[in-house]
Homo-oligomer: A and B are copies of this chain.
Amino acid sequence: MSDKSVFDSSDSVRHAKPLPYAQHVTFDGPFHLECGRHLPSVTVAHETYGTLSPARDNAVLLCHAISGDSHVARHDAEDDPGWWDIAVGPGKPIDTDRYFVICPNILGGCRGTTGPVSVNPATGGAYGPDFPLVTIGDIVKLQRQLVKHLGIERLLAVVGGSLGGQMAMTWATRYPDELAGCAAIATSPRLTSQALAFDVVGRNAILHDPDYDAGRYYDHGPGPKVGLAIARMLGHITYLSRESMMRKFDANRFTPRDIATQFETKFSIGSYLAYQGDRFGERFDANSYITLSMAMDLFDLGATPEELAESLRPSTCRWLVISYTSDWLFPPFQSQQIVDALVAEDKAVSYCNVQSSCGHDAFLLPNELASYGTLIAGFLANLNEASKLPPVQRLAGAAASDASAPVSPLPREHAAHRPTSIFHDPQRLDYDSIVELIPPGASVLDLGCGSGELLSQLRQRDHARLVGIELDESAVVACVQRGLDVLQADLNEGLSLFADGEFDVVALSQTLQTIIDVRRVIQEMLRVGRQAIVSFPNLGYHKLRRQLAEEGRAPLVSLGGGSRWYDTWNVRFLTIADFDEFCRDEGIRIHDRVFLDTEARRRVTDDPNLNADLAILVLSR
């Protein structure tokens, strides 16, 4: 192993601007690849930011996407911004004042790390088409060699989007003891056939460009500029969403930018694509593009949920999975497959499907940084702290539940569970009762967890596993900031991601009455949990009965949010007697009951269907 760079980028990377801050490490001796071949030596170009802590426990590895490189962010005010400058730097989500950030160019790339443009010692010329088939596993193996070379035994986190997300997942599963957290962004267990199809067409365009010359174009001619440009145009279409393209090009579709290009420029989208295609040909190598797109296409964590779960089983780190609603290249359902499999394997995972109209590119753009940047920052901040949290003795209804949360108090708009509670105390009365009903040490799934108030309260005690489900994006972000495991999901779509009996307790606090398909949700709760705890407003409460019987008005069930018949979040109205009958009909046992008169702030034992406005029930099959 040597630090001297044997890789002379100036003569083999064509046209590519040198990266002034890149450092090069060369590992001599054979580097064995999964395809059975080996490289006699490998060089890794990489850049670092921030300072490695004395304990060497603050290193974050960033994995770039197909056209990226080691220059993730600027090193100083004069430096060029990098490909993720918005997310990496002092005070930014990946805070280089706090973390030691490493970003290597990946194996098979063309910006300093060994790839098809590198010199093949056997011939003295570029590898070109003789460069062996490289997998994501090979790429990660080389990253790991670099990390070890830098003196780091365990990374705080590996973070990557798209192709980089495939690397992050590979880290988590191949080297589980060597990272505390894995952030897999806008990625998938394997490409959809649609995404694969675009890559196939792109490669066909390159390979059939006569200037490709069977890949041996380095010593003569321009190389397959047309084919590479066409592949890049195609790629660009898939990185944007239909909506973002419309925003960008629809208003002036017939007024293309006047650029010098050999490609069609009749439409503005055409001149944009031509420009992107031409520029890509100047900075990227076609063999490298083929190598990396093939590595991406061959990546495969499994075709079935079972295979995917098996692939992810070895991982021990915490996970953050982020998708973007308008990403159709790595569509959200694929991130959800990853999350489902992680959940099936009892891994600690948070998931957010960030609302965005920017398509796959969203993870590189500033538009939704407030969400995904805050998620990443919150995830990283809690990776070490979470494990350091002292186990607190059981404190039913502790008043200062937030005090031990690792991050600063939440902004006001995150503090309330939606639908809004009528309880004005920061501490909800029913949370206290629910906490008391949950056996110590039990694993708990909190449905509609909001910003994590109940889970934060439970965290004071010694619980096996605490997971929240929440639909609202900002509440999900708030949970991640608190260091909680939260999954963004719509309860109306069921709990299919959880196995039978996966939790001791599944809680649904004042949310039942806002769900259309109550029966299915209760069935799911009792499938997933050994016990279910449900709280709901009682329509049988005497004041409500009086409103209808005497005043002829729809009862105003203010519990659960909304104040009038036409704007309440509630869509289901039931009495305690109705729920009792429902349980009888469904064969559900009621183990325990707490009835509250929340106005009077007291428990009710006498005729609760008349005297209680809130019911809390513990159910099982």
Contacts and interface: CB of A to CB of B under 8 A. Distances in A.
B554 A573 contact: yes
A555 interface: yes
A234 interface: yes
B574 A565 contact: yes
A249 B574 contact: no
A90 to B, nearest CB: 38
Nearest to A551: B577
Contacts of A208: 209, 226, 230, 262-263
Interface string A233-253: 110010010100110111101
Given A193-B269, A205-B230, A574 B566 contact: yes
A263 B553 CA distance: 72
Contact of A193 (B209, B210, B248, B274): B248
Interface stretch (A195-203, A348-356, A370-378, A460-468): A195-203
Size category, A interface: 35 or more
A546 B240 CA distance: 59
A575 interface: yes
Given A237-B194, A548-B540, A548-B545, A264 B200 contact: yes
Nearest to A568: B572
A437 interface: no
Nearest to A251: B303
A575 B549 contact: no
Interface string A244-274: 0110111101000000001110110110011
Contacts of A274: 204
Max chain B Cβ within 10 angstroms of own Cβ: one of A203, A234, A577, A609: A234
A273 B544 CA distance: 65
Contacts of A263: 200, 204, 208
A564 B573 CA distance: 10
Interface in A527-578: 539-540, 544-546, 548-549, 551-555, 564-567, 571-578
A519 B196 contact: no
A566 B610 contact: no
A418 to B, nearest CB: 15
A399 to B, nearest CB: 36
Max chain B Cβ within 10 angstroms of own Cβ: one of A207, A264, A519, A571: A264
A555 B519 CA distance: 18
Given A545-B548, A554-B573, A566-B519, A200 B273 contact: yes
Contact of A549 (B230, B303, B545): B545
Contacts of A575: 548, 552-554
Contacts of A251: 303
A582 interface: yes
A200 to B, nearest CB: 4
Interface in A326-382: 328, 331
A162 to B, nearest CB: 17
A147 interface: no
A539 B566 contact: no
A267 B204 CA distance: 13
A404 interface: no
Contacts of A262: 208
A297 interface: yes
Nearest to A229: B204
Contacts of A549: 545-546, 548-549
Contact of A303 (B250, B266, B331): B250
Nearest to A265: B200
A496 interface: no
Nearest to A234: B201
A53 interface: no
A518 interface: yes
Given A196-B249, A197-B270, A540-B548, 11 more contacts: A193-B250, A197-B245, A198-B237, A200-B273, A204-B230, A234-B234, A539-B548, A545-B548, A552-B575, A553-B578, A554-B574
The 9 A-B pairs of least Cβ separation, nearest first, read A549-B549, A571-B571, A193-B249, A193-B245, A518-B566, A200-B270, A540-B552, A194-B242, A552-B609
19 contacts: A193-B242, A197-B233, A197-B273, A200-B263, A200-B267, A200-B269, A201-B237, A205-B230, A208-B230, A208-B262, A251-B303, A544-B548, A546-B549, A553-B577, A564-B582, A565-B582, A566-B572, A566-B574, A573-B573
